[in-house]
Amino acid sequence: MQQRTLGTQGLAAGSIGYGAMGTVFAYGPTDDTESIAAIRRAHELGVTHFDTAEMYGWGDGERLLGAALAPIRDEVTIATKFGFTTDDWKPDSRPEHIREVVDRSLTNLGTDSIDLLYQHVHDPAVPIEDVVGVMQEFVQAGKVKYLGLSNTDGENIRRAHAVHPISVFQTEYSVFARESEELFPVVDELGIGLVAYSPLARGFLSGAVRPRSDYPEDDIRHILEWWAAEHFDQNVVVAEGLSGIAAERGISLAQLSLAWILAQRNDIVPIPGSKNPVRVADNVAAADVVLTADDLARIDALSRDVRGKRIRNN
Ligand SMILES: NC(=O)c1ccc[n+]([C@@H]2O[C@H](COP(=O)([O-])OP(=O)(O)OC[C@H]3O[C@@H](n4cnc5c(N)ncnc54)[C@H](OP(=O)(O)O)[C@@H]3O)[C@@H](O)[C@H]2O)c1
């Protein structure tokens, strides 16, 4: 797989990464055996960058990913995130909380060092300088290699970067969610790479989208605007338009969606999440898809018809 460099600090990654959130929550029932097979299949096919977070199962997600990657730990990079309260999912980047969570993440992942540590969400109660100061302690102790931020604004990115170089900004980015483009000038100026989360619009771009009522009660799609009754039908029309372009090119909708992201910038790595080895292979094959200028223009036009905004902070 083609390699990309995430930011000027030199963090390298295969152009398609892997997001492990769905292995423990958000999108219906999970099966650890199948998830481990999916993670290992991703590695076999050239994926090198794997993403998780403390909040994905409060340790369960990190333990699963760590176990799956243990035999190949030296061949991959692992990213994790801190920054939420367990009871009500509020931001919590108090220094003592960060120290406790990151040490626990190292144990959960079964590793001596986290390749990329993110603040998961901005905490208005703690100045970003203090947060990055604590993150930097882990770098100095050799327990973390690169630092990242997620779910924050341009000012915080600048202020954080002034304390310690930020390698990656992780944000929701897809044909359906383009709000983050307003932050591209800041990351360009500072030499920060991008990791695109939920690049398949949380399954809306899976080629098999279903109405909210078909998903289990605890499925995250019950609270996403794209699935709201007033938006769903229009968004299905957009997805069908995209599927039409994908069919012309002989590729899947997921591949079209990921290739569109790769075509936007050369320092962006999407991290699609799949619990299924076959769908992982489908996603990885997007690394070889080259869309024409005409394809990109048609996708761009369709993306303008999406209704509903992405949610933040999860
Ligand atoms: N920083 C943050 O705040 C934040 C927030 C959300 C997510 N993330 C990260 O981003 C990663 C990816 O985002 P995501 O999991 O929310 O959403 P996503 O990748 O946009 O979509 C995941 C959904 O698409 C399905 N899917 C994946 N590949 C498919 C394919 N080739 N064909 C058909 N369906 C496919 C998955 O089902 P199956 O599993 O059944 O294949 C799952 O239901 C997460 O795992 C997490 O690491 C970060």
Per-residue pLDDT reduced to its tens digit, 152-202: 999 999 999 999 999 999 999 999 999 999 999 999 999 999 999 999 999
Helices within the chain (DSSP H only):
32-44, 60-69, 95-109, 128-140, 154-163, 184-190, 229-249, 253-264, 277-284, 293-303
Q: Please give the pLDDT value at position 314.
A: 38
pLDDT digits (tens, 9 = 90+) for 294-309: 999 999 999 999 999 8
Rg, the chain, Cα only: 18
pLDDT digits (tens, 9 = 90+) for 6-65: 999 999 999 999 999 999 988 888 999 999 999 999 999 999 999 999 999 999 999 999
Q: What number of other Cβ atoms are within 10 A of residue 234's Cβ?
A: 13
294 CA to centre of ligand 1 in angstroms: 27
CA distances, 67 to each of 30, 57, 61, 94, 239 (Å)? 16, 15, 10, 29, 36
| Contact present, 49 and 77 (Cβ < 8 Å) | yes
Ligand 1 pocket, residue 277 CB under 6 Å: no
Nearest CA residue ID for atom 34, ligand 1 = 206
Q: What percent of the chain has pLDDT over 90?
A: 93
Nearest CA residue ID for atom 3, ligand 1 = 314
Ligand 1 pocket, residue 116 CB under 6 Å: no
Nearest CA residue ID for atom 43, ligand 1 = 203
Where are the domains positioned within the chain?
A: 3-206+265-289
173 catalytic residue (yes or no) = no
Q: Please give the pLDDT value at position 27.
A: 85
pLDDT over threshold 80, residue 313: no
27 CA to centre of ligand 1 in angstroms: 8
CATH for 3-206+265-289, options being 1.20.1250.20, 3.20.20.100, 3.40.50.740, 3.40.50.150: 3.20.20.100
CA distances, 157 to each of 153, 172, 207 (Å)? 6, 16, 35
pLDDT over threshold 80, residue 146: yes
Cα–Cα dist 60/239, whole Å: 33
Average pLDDT for residues 125-140, to the nearest whole number? 98
Query: Residue 250: how many CA atoms within 13 Å on its side-chain side?
Result: 3
Q: Please give the pLDDT value at position 11.
A: 98
Cα–Cα dist 79/90, whole Å: 21
Average pLDDT for residues 135-151, to the nearest whole number? 98
Confidence class for position 227, pLDDT limits 50, 70, 90: very high
Ligand 1 pocket, residue 78 CB under 6 Å: no
Catalytic-role residue among 56, 118, 173, 197: 56
Ligand 1 pocket, residue 161 CB under 6 Å: no
Cα–Cα dist 232/137, whole Å: 46
Question: Tell me, what amino acid is at 313?
Answer: N
